[in-house]
Structure 1
Amino acid sequence: MRTYSVRPATADDLDSARSVMLDTVYHDFGTGYVPRWHADIVDPAAYYLAPARHTLLVAVDADGRVVGTGALDSRGPQSPPNPPGLAERYPSGETAQLRRVYVRPGHRRRGIARELVARLLDFAAADGGYRSVYLHTDPAVPGAEPFWRSLGTVVHDEREDAGGGQSVVHFELPLKRTGSAVDRPEHATA
């Protein structure tokens, strides 16, 4: 059994976190880097470390390697590219949007993503200014849709839109949590 630590990222973690994110968009999503979608990956400090209401978490293995990421910001979904009703339902400033919840393939299915999300929800609740938690996912990524369905409620499935839409599923997660899937100490064993 491996031990992982989940903690806020520091400037020293950014290159490793960026590597996890880029590997995910290239290998899991198959899109590669797309500037209009992934600008935060190139400059995570500006998006997640500098703004007070944003955060970037990293999951670190026992050898000190970053094996997972999870981010939260106050930018609600924009329309376009997202359906107009979502931008109205989840306005920027009032919405905690979860982003970049990625775990390297060799470390998946050990509770890391669930712990990252639990800590992000704690962060959102502690902020006090968020009224909802939103995210979207690509259901073509193995395990992504069932994972998010286990934590939240589908608010829009673009696969059901007239005219096809994108292959994107939008979720809302409860803002208040009752507990974590993994023990809360700084070092969680998953």
Structure 2
Amino acid sequence: MPALSERSVVQVTVADPRVRPLLRELGEEYSARYGKDAHAELARYPDEEFTAPHGGVLLLLLEGGEPVAGGAFRRYDAGTAELKRIWTHSGHRRRGLAREVVAELEREARARGYRRIYLTTGPRQPEARALYLNTGYRPLFDTEADPESIGPLPFEKHLPRHPDPGTDLRTGKATAQ
């Protein structure tokens, strides 16, 4: 397997063939976790909502073009982008790739003029919940409640107009100077 340092970020459309593994594996995983076919949910939004100028799809590619992680955003309202479909290939998890995808999506959303990010994750996705809490997202739900009693777990994060040069864009936390 190529080293993780040999990767690139590309902007693509939903129709790009490199997105298919993302949606296929994501649909299979959601279906297994929630006990119903999730492929219809993944197709709920028209592809146009994930294209410029209001949205986008980003993939992390290993050298040779293999997609290992990705995600998308769409316009939620005039100042807010909604993150969707954050995914890391099952063979490449626990390496910080989802954190990198989120940071890239935030960077692109900020470049498009969005000042806030909104997202939801499912109650049976503790890894996603932890990712968002650890990257500076504010939960819009009672974190002490049983996630199953809440349904989709909403989060938000306000984006700075210009990131402070002493800020790690992956975590939103100050770096040592």
Q: Is the 8 A contact 1:137 1:144 kept in 2?
A: yes
CA deviation string 1:26-75 (max 9, x = no partner): 1245243343x32257x64x2323x4121110111123111221111113
Match of 2:54 in 1: 53
Q: How does 1:1-190 map to 2 (within 5 A)?
A: 1-2=3-4, 3-9=6-12, 14-30=16-32, 31-35=36-40, 37-39=41-43, 44=47, 46-49=48-51, 51-75=52-76, 92-128=77-113, 130-151=114-135, 152-157=137-142, 160=145, 164-166=149-151, 168-176=152-160, 177=163, 178-181=167-170
Deviation of the 1:98 alpha carbon? 0.7
TM-score normalised to the size of structure 2?
0.75
Q: Count how many residue pairs are aligned between Structure 1 and Structure 2.
A: 158
**Cα RMSD, aligned residues only:** 2.8
Specify every segment of 5 or more residues in structure 2 that has no aligned partner in the other structure, as ranges.
172-177
TM-score, normalised to structure 1's length? 0.70
Does the CA contact (< 8 Å) of 1:155 and 1:170 recur in 2? yes
For the 8 Å contact 2:53–2:112, the answer to whether it is kept is no
Where relative contact order (Cα < 8 A, 6+ residues apart) is larger, the structure is 1
Structure 2 counterpart of 1:188: none
Identity among equivalent positions (%) equals: 27
Query: Which one-letter code corresponds to 2:12 in the other structure?
Result: A
| Superposed displacement of residue 22, structure 1 | 2.4
Contact kept? 2:123, 2:150, Cα under 8 Å: no
